[in-house]
Amino acid sequence: MKMVKSLLLVSAAGFVVAATGAQAADLPVKAKPVEYVKVCSLYGAGFYYVPGTDICMKVGSYIRFQQDFGAGSSISAGPMVGAGGRGTRVDTQDYSMRTRAVATFDTRQQTAYGTLRTYLLMGFQQDSTLAPATNPNVYMTRGFIQLAGFTFGKAVSFFDFANTAAVAYNAGFNFNSSTGDAGQMVAGYTAQFGNGLSATIAAEQSRRASTVPVTGGVFSASLGNPVGLDMGGIGFTQYNSATSPATRAQSAAGVGLTDIVGNIRIDQAWGSAQISGALHDARAGYYVDGTNVYDVNGHPEDKWGWAISGGLRLNAPMIGPGDYFQAQAIYTQGAIKYASQTPSLGTMQKWHGNEVGYGFWTDGVYDALTPGSEVQLTTAWSLFASYEHFWTPSLRTSLYGSYIDVSHNGAATAIICTSGGAFSNDVGCNPDWSAFTIGTRSQWDITKGLYVGLDVIYEKLNSARPNSAGLLNATTGAGAKAPGVYTVRDQDSWTATWRIQRDIVP
């Protein structure tokens, strides 16, 4: 019996030793460290350290869907720009849709020269107003580097101040310098003086609306063919020697130096203020030689256009938390796209039955038939203002409006109004025009990062006039518009937009 007990104890001890040895063999000699993504609190919420580096990055995005009623052929620029201004069943959409998806990448890193920042925005957009072959439109509208006060790349223009997109879904309809989603190529330096005061000097991509030649019967538009109709010599069509030698006109839309932009700005608890200015190369093309445009007769002396602006933002927490007022006034000569970045085409125009209203969008004009003729710079000024009120933290309403006035000096008016064609009767001819918008947007934040809203805007065009009779002879039919005599009158339009958008780490 004792022998049996001894054998059992020895067997049990051996089993325990064997089991212990097996468990010890299964354990790793040394556990490998696990590298987790760490929160980076240096630059605000949403930043994380890129594993294995000291670079902090924030990834953001948004997805948007909207429907527009009355936007014409351009959701971005409105019913008085492009072919949609003709108001036909052929190229005008009373109802249109847009889908946009965007991703952003913001990185920050500390260096011996301060914070090094890079920013990239890319996405796609599909509009029902575009031809199927161009859909969807993939784009990158931001991509810049910032270090030690320098900014290089595609960013917000340093001339801009008022943020129209913050208060209006139809931001492109408003007359203001804001470059909006498209941005601007810049190379600038910003000096910080403390207490929110800063100053910037920059070279920026030229905001060229072109200096336009006027020849016998032709006042050529500056950028493209927004109407597709030769309106008796007013020239909503772009002419050049390659496509139509007999018209004898050429613009200088594709050349010129970069613009020089500067500002002085202050940002404090009460709001912000800014004074900005710009110099713009308004050079022209060549004078006419016979029925073609050559360089043998030379070109007008180069001229510089310019623009100045003043902007103010006032926070109004005493009325409602988050409430604010913003305004920007701009005056330009020979730099019309600083008065308003949109429309991007050469004219404002709107047809209604047998009526039409129009206005030319130019940096300047010159007499292309007369060597020695100087460039006559176009004068334009604009005003934008808005107020946004928060009824509750999740419900807000904005009221906004804008105005633009475009005028020509006596020499420019004489060149335009004696050019022949529709201007053959210079009595009562007036190429000056103006326009205004007024609108309101209400937005409900359903939950954090998800909102829905409605924007309604009214636009009025006070048309230029070809003569005292106010009659215009459209000689070439296009886009279902018949040739004939049209009455020139002021035009207006209404547009409504509703939108739903989801912001993910904005």
Q: Round to the nearest angstrom and report the end-to-end CA distance of the chain.
A: 82
CA angle 159, 161, 164 (to 5 degrees): 125
pLDDT at residue number 304: 93
Tokens of 253: 């839309």
User: Does residue 289 surpass a pLDDT of 50?
Assistant: yes
Contact call for residues 369 and 287 (beta carbons, < 8 A): yes
Q: Which residues pair with 219 in a beta bridge?
A: 214
What is the spatial distance between Cα 214 and Cα 502, in angstroms, rounded to a whole number? Answer: 49
Contact call for residues 415 and 366 (beta carbons, < 8 A): yes
Helices (H), 108-237: none
Number of helical (H) and strand (E) elements in the chain, helices listed first? 3, 27
Least confident of 79-93, 214-228, 233-247: 233-247
User: Does residue 211 surpass a pLDDT of 90?
Assistant: no
Average pLDDT over residues 474-491: 72
Helix (H/G/I), strand (E/B), else coil: 27: coil
Is-cis flag, bond preceding 483, omega within 30?
A: no
What is the spatial distance between Cα 87 and Cα 382, in angstroms, rounded to a whole number? Answer: 27
Which tens digits make up the pLDDT trace of 308-328? 999 999 999 999 999 999 999
What is the residue-averaged pLDDT of the chain? 81
Which amino acid type is present at position 215? T
Per-residue pLDDT band for 246 (boundaries 50, 70, 90) equals very low
Instruction: Quote the pTM value.
Output: 0.85
Which among 430, 315, 435, 432 is positioned nearest to 383, based on CA atoms?
A: 435
The shares of helix, strand and coil residues in the chain, as percent rounded to the nearest 5, are 10, 50, 40
pLDDT at residue number 229: 33
User: Does residue 196 surpass a pLDDT of 80?
Assistant: yes
Q: How far is CA 161 from CA 285, 339, 405, in A?
A: 32, 12, 20
* Residue found by looking up tokens 């518009």 in the block: 481
Which tens digits make up the pLDDT trace of 353-394? 888 888 888 888 888 778 888 999 999 999 999 999 999 999
Which tens digits make up the pLDDT trace of 423-476? 445 578 888 999 999 999 999 999 999 999 999 999 999 998 888 888 876 655
pLDDT at residue number 33: 57
- Tally the C-alpha atoms within 13 A of residue 67's C-alpha that lie toward its C-beta: 5
pLDDT at residue number 131: 57
pLDDT at residue number 470: 84
- Tally the C-alpha atoms within 13 A of residue 405's C-alpha that lie toward its C-beta: 6
Per-residue pLDDT band for 31 (boundaries 50, 70, 90) equals low
What is the spatial distance between Cα 166 and Cα 266, in angstroms, rounded to a whole number? Answer: 20
Q: How far is CA 298 from CA 238, 245, 287, 362, 373, in A?
A: 21, 18, 6, 21, 11
User: Does residue 9 surpass a pLDDT of 50?
Assistant: no
Which among 172, 189, 194 is positioned nearest to 181, based on CA atoms?
A: 172
Average pLDDT over residues 92-102: 88
User: Does residue 55 surpass a pLDDT of 80?
Assistant: yes
Tokens of 84: 């949609």
310 φ/ψ angles, rounded to the nearest 5 degrees: -130, 130
Average pLDDT over residues 478-483: 63
Of the ranges 23-27, 125-129, 243-247, 333-337, the best mean pLDDT one: 333-337
